[in-house]
Amino acid sequence: MRGHLMAPHGNGVMRADNMPGAIINIDFAGNVTTFSPELLGTEHGRYGTFEWGNVHNDDWPAIVSNAGFKLAYADILAGIQRCGDSCAYFSVCGGGNPSNKLAELGTFAGTETQYCRLHIQAFADIVMEDLEKELGIGQGGHVGGPNRK
């Protein structure tokens, strides 16, 4: 978190779990998904099973052509965009964990969750407060987020 907070302007966090292909998940039968590993084996009313191909039959272009993948990715991108537009912690978070948004909000297109409030926002506030004390700036206390994009 210190590294993220002290990174030069414009060097915000990029998350592997909301980037297609950065994490490839394959189950025992060869079914393939990407994004958060927890999605494999999960089923959802809007998104279906998250099995967007099979290693025995499908290459990467076939997987990203799958209608379920396209729907999920469009919603993940919408969630990242909404996070970027609304959250002061975006530069140290990168737009959140898709499986967590789905579990807490029922959609990939959402923004804030209890998980990100505790694991990103509260953590960033504590580290930012420490940095401010070290640098002899600010009054300490809640700093209201890094607010750097």
| Alpha-carbon span 21 to 34, nearest angstrom | 6
DSSP state of 48: B
Integer CA distances (angstroms), 1 to 12, 47, 120, 124, 138, in order = 11, 33, 9, 7, 19
Residue nearest to ligand SF4 (CB): 96
- The reply to whether 76 sits near ligand SF4 by the rule CB under 6 A is no
| Alpha-carbon span 30 to 58, nearest angstrom | 10
**With respect to ligand SF4, which residue has the nearer C-beta, 63 or 87?**
87
The tokens describing 114, both together, are 């209890």
- Which of 53, 95, 98, 146 touches ligand SF4 (CB under 6 A)? 95
**Per CB under 6 A, which of residues 102..141 are in contact with ligand SF4?**
111-112, 116, 120-121
**With respect to ligand SF4, which residue has the nearer C-beta, 68 or 110?**
110
**Per CB under 6 A, which of residues 4..63 are in contact with ligand SF4?**
none
Question: Residues near 84 by Cβ (< 8 Å), separated by ≥ 6?
Answer: 90, 95, 149
- Which of 40, 63, 87, 127 touches ligand SF4 (CB under 6 A)? 87
Closest approach of ligand SF4 to the CB of residue 13, in Å:
9
Of the candidates 78, 17, 23, the one whose C-alpha atom is nearest the C-alpha of residue 46 is 78
**With respect to ligand SF4, which residue has the nearer C-beta, 72 or 93?**
93
Residues in touch with ligand SF4 (CB under 6 A): 83, 87, 89-90, 93, 95-96, 111-112, 116, 120-121
